[in-house]
A and B are shown apart, each in its own frame.
Chain A
Amino acid sequence: MKLNTYLSLAAIAIAATATGALAESGATLKTVKERGKLICTGHNGSYPGMTELDDRGNWAGFDVDLCRALATAIFGTHESHLDIVPTSWAQRWPSIQSGEVDAVIKSTGWTLNRDTEIGLQFSRPYMLGSVNYMAPVELGAKTPQDLDGGTLCLQSGTTYERYAVSHAASMGYEIGMVPFEKTEEMKAAFMAGRCDAILEWDLQLAVFKALELPNPDDYAIIPAPVAAEPLAIAMRQGDDNWVDIANWTLSVLVAAEEYGITSANVDEMKANPPTPEVAKMLGATPGFGTVLGLEDDFGYNIIKVIGNYAEIWDRNVGEGSVYKLPRGVNALLRDGGINYPLVID
C-alpha cells in the first residue's frame, strides 16, 4: 500500500528529526502533571474487547482500563485526569512522536522496527496476543496435533499462514490450507463446514465465536497457542522514568492478582498487609512511589479504582463480558500461564 509506505517513511523521518528533541527522563511525567491530564489513545471506531464505547459514548475495554490505571497511578483517580483521544492505527506513531498523546495503549505489538527505527520504547508486554486454532467441538480436537490430516481455512497472505506452516512442521502434524481473499469469506467457509479449523488471535476468535457463530457452544478454541504476539505500551524513546512508571503500573495489576488483592478487599489489605511487600506496594509503608516520582500509595489507588489484572480481564474480555475469553497463556505463572509480577524489594 502506497499510503502505508508514505506513513512509515514519514514516521521514520519524524523519528530522525525528533531524536534531537529526545524525551529526557522524567519529562513526560512532568508534562502530564503540569497539564493535569494523561492523554491516551482511543480508537477511531471500535476494537471489540480492547477499545469500545458503551451506549453513552464512554470508552470501555482492556486497553482503556490500562489508560485509566496509568492515569490513576499519577493522579490517584482518572476522573477528569484522563483524555482518551480517538486515534487510528496509522496515526499511532506520529501521535506519540509529536507528543499529542503520552502513551500508545492500542493492542500494539512490540516489534524490532517500532522499537528502533520508529524511535519508540515499549513497556513489558501486558498481554500475549495468543494465536490459536478454533474447531467444532464434535471433532474432539484438544491439541493442534489432533487436527492432523484436517483442513484449515485461512486468509491468504497473512502472518497466520506462516505461523500454521511452521507450527505444523515443528510439531509433526499435517494440516491442509484452504486460502481465502477476505476474512469474511474465510469465516463463512468455516461456518459452512468447508474446513475443520480456523487460526486467529484468540480474542478475535472469542469475538467471532460469541457474536457471529449461530451456536457458540458447538465450537471450541484449542488452548495450546500456535504463536503469540506480545502487546505492550509504546512510549517515546529516552524517557526511562516514564517506562518505569508504565512497567510498575502493569506489575501492580499482576502482583495484586497474585497476592489476592482486589478492588473489594484492598482497604483491608492495606490496613493489615500480609507481607512487607504488599505493605510497600499499597503504600502502608513508604518507598514504592517516590522512587518513580509518584505518590507512595499509587499501587493502592490503582487497585481501588481499576482492580487487579484478573478483574480487568474478566470485565472486558473474560467471563464478565460477552466474549468469555479464557485466560490461556495470559494466566498467572502458577495457573499455567506466563504472567508474573516484578519483584518489590
Chain B
Amino acid sequence: MTDTAIQIRRMNKFYGSFQVLRDINLTVRKGERIVICGPSGSGKSTLIRCINRLEDHQDGSINVLGTELNEDVGSIDLIRREVGMVFQHFNLFPHLTVLENCTLAPMLVRRFSRAEAERVAREYLERVRIPEKADAFPSELSGGQQQRVAIARALCMRPEILLFDEPTSALDPEMINEVLDVMRELAMDGMTMVCVTHEMGFARQVADRVIFMSNGEIVEENTPEAFFTNPRNERTRGFLAKILAH
C-alpha cells in the first residue's frame, strides 16, 4: 500500500457548469513514470494541477502520499512540499538570482540553514549542468537554461513526486534536448514523475505508462509499446497519426 504515490478515484472537476475532468481514475506507484498526452484543451494541465491542488476538484477523491486533498490548508502545504512542479513557462522568480531561486523555498519551508540550502542548490545546479550560472538572474539565461534551473529549483525541495506540464513546448527546438536529457536522468534515478508532454520519443523511452486524454476523460492507458504500436482507441489513433506525421 505504501508504494502508492498518487491515487485518484472517480474525480470530477468543473469550471462553473463546464465539466473539465470526467470520472478520472488513476493510480501512480512510487518510482513510476507517467506520460500524459492528448489534444489541446483535453484537460491534461488541469489534471496534474489537481495533484498539487493548484486547482481544486469538486467530486471524488485525490490521495497523494497517503494524504487526502481537501479544504485543509495545512495538508495542502504539506503535500506541495513533497510534490514539485515544472511549468511550461518556467516561472522563475525574476527578482532573485538562480541560486536564490533554488534556496528560497528550502529555507522558508524546509527550514534549511542558508549554508545547507546553498549546498543543496549547487549540487542540483551541477546536476542540471549550469553551476556556473548560480549568480545570474533568470533574464540572463536562455530558455533551456531557465527550464533546467526550474527543475533544479523543484528538486531542491527534495520532492517525492515531480509534475511536469509541457516543460519543453515553450522552447526553441535546439534547447529541447538539453531539458529532456535532464529529465531522462531523473527518470533513471527513480524519481516518481507525471509528465504532460508531446515528446513521443521521450515517452517511448522513459514512460512506464502512457495516458491519453480527450475531452476531460482518460481514454486510454497503456504501456508505451502498446500505446504507440497498437492503440486500442479510435481517438488515440487519430491523435497519434497527427502528431507523428508532424
Complex: A in contact with B (CB within 8 Å)? no
